[in-house]
């Protein structure tokens, strides 16, 4: 079988890098110099092999029926809720000016390199984690590897964070580290009405759970929300049926060399799908504590794989991709 062609195309004017599979959109690395809306670079949207987004549109796009909560949860990202006392997770254009000093921002610096190829494509980008005054706490270098096989889309992310001139603490916190905000169909049905985008773009209250059918499963065999929340696992899947894509399974894989492995999961019924190895005191009700920190000039690397399967997928198939991931070398 001929490998699928991965094209990684920088668009400096559009402040994005587009990733195509055999000429069709897969995802884009999106950033901005002004950071009026985005307070961090993200991959957005992320699509199945059929081209159907698994990520919600809000706040960048107004898709009818989608929730309008948590405007900081955009696409696929990596940040944290307590870095040197600053909140990088919740920062968004909705934060009032008087709270700006509490927030951290990740500013894109440069596209170091792009590489297209048959079977895999590469993107290396650099960013700075800074406070509201522009002082840099962390320097980030992220290497994305995009892969595709028939019915499968893969994103490997290798993010190295290096402390600047001062030591940096990562206090145990609920909000982190690797996040993905899912499209409405992959949420769980809501018991109460929720605010969503109406057909005309206005905000309406809706109790309609039609087509909302997401289901979690982790590597330890734990199923469903809230059971999977605050549990350790090597990987987690979120499965459901998308219009135009039939069944889909989205898997996040945690690498054994990551700090805090196996990660705790900050997975919610409203579509937040996140791996957080650093918030141990929160997830263990104080039974554990990590107090992760980097001395000035020291580095750490987070390694994650996102796999999007079209069609029904078994735990054994996810395990096979996990085994391949943990033995992959750049």
113: domain CATH number is 2.70.98
Domain count, the chain: 1
pLDDT > 80? residue 65: yes
Report yes or no on 40 lying in a domain: yes
CA dist 275 → 152, 199, 235, 311 (Å): 21, 33, 9, 24
pLDDT > 70? residue 176: yes
The β-bridge partners of 177 are 79
Mean residue pLDDT of the chain comes to 96
Its domain, for residue 165, covers 13-326
Q: What confidence score (pLDDT) does residue 35 get?
A: 66
Q: What is the pTM of this model?
A: 0.97
Report yes or no on 217 lying in a domain: yes
The β-bridge partners of 252 are 236, 306
pLDDT for 131-174, tens place per residue? 999 999 999 999 999 999 999 999 999 999 999 999 999 999 99
Report yes or no on 3 lying in a domain: no
Report yes or no on 5 lying in a domain: no
- Residue 201 is classified by DSSP as S
pLDDT for 179-215, tens place per residue? 999 999 999 999 999 999 999 999 999 999 999 999 9
Here the tokens at position 295 are 């001395």
pLDDT > 80? residue 72: yes
Q: What confidence score (pLDDT) does residue 138 get?
A: 98
Q: Is residue 52 classed as helix, strand or coil in its secondary structure?
A: coil
Report yes or no on 318 lying in a domain: yes
pLDDT for 5-56, tens place per residue? 999 999 999 999 999 999 999 999 999 876 677 999 999 999 999 999 999 9
210: CB partners within 8 A, 6+ apart: none
Here the tokens at position 12 are 């400096």
Measured CA angle at 254 (ends 4, 315), to 5 deg: 70
Q: Report the distance separating Cα 99 and Cα 132, nearest Å.
A: 10
pLDDT > 80? residue 329: no
pLDDT band at 244 (very low <50, low <70, confident <90, very high): confident
Q: What confidence score (pLDDT) does residue 53 get?
A: 97
Report yes or no on 6 lying in a domain: no
* Cβ burial 63-99 (10 Å sphere, 16+ → b, else e): eebbbeebbbbbbbbbbbbbbbebbbbbbbeebeeee
Q: What are phi and psi of 325, to 5 degrees?
A: -65, -45
Share of the chain above pLDDT 70, in %: 99
């Amino acid at each position: 079988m001929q490998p699928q062609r991965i094209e990684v195309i920088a668009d400096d004017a559009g402040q994005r890098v587009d990733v195509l599979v055999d000429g069709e959109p897969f995802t884009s690395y999106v950033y901005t110099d002004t950071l009026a809306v985005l307070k961090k670079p993200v991959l957005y949207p992320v699509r199945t092999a059929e081209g159907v987004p698994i990520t919600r549109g809000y706040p960048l796009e107004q898709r009818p029926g989608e929730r309008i909560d948590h405007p900081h949860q955009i696409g696929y990202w990596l940040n944290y809720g307590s870095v040197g006392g600053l909140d990088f997770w919740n920062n968004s254009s909705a934060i009032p000016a008087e709270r700006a000093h509490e927030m951290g921002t990740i500013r894109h610096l440069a596209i170091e390199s792009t590489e297209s190829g048959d079977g895999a494509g590469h993107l290396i980008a650099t960013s700075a984690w800074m406070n509201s005054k522009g002082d840099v706490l962390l320097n980030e270098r992220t290497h994305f590897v995009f892969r595709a096989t028939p019915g499968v889309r893969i994103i490997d992310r290798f993010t190295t964070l290096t402390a600047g001139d001062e030591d940096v603490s990562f206090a145990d916190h609920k909000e982190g580290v690797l996040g993905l905000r899912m499209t409405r169909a992959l949420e769980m049905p809501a018991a109460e009405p929720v605010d969503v985008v109406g057909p005309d773009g206005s905000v309406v209250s809706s109790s309609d759970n039609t087509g909302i059918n997401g289901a979690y499963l982790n590597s330890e065999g734990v199923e469903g929300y809230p059971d999977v929340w605050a549990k350790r696992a090597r990987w987690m899947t979120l499965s459901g049926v998308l219009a135009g894509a039939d069944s889909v399974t989205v898997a996040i894989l945690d690498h054994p060399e990551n700090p805090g492995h196996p990660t705790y999961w900050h997975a919610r019924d409203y579509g937040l799908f996140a791996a957080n190895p650093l918030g141990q005191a929160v997830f263990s009700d104080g039974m554990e504590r990590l107090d992760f920190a980097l001395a000035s000039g020291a580095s750490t690397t987070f390694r994650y794989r996102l796999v999007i399967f079209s069609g029904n997928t078994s735990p054994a198939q996810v395990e096979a991709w996990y085994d391949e991931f943990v033995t992959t070398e750049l």
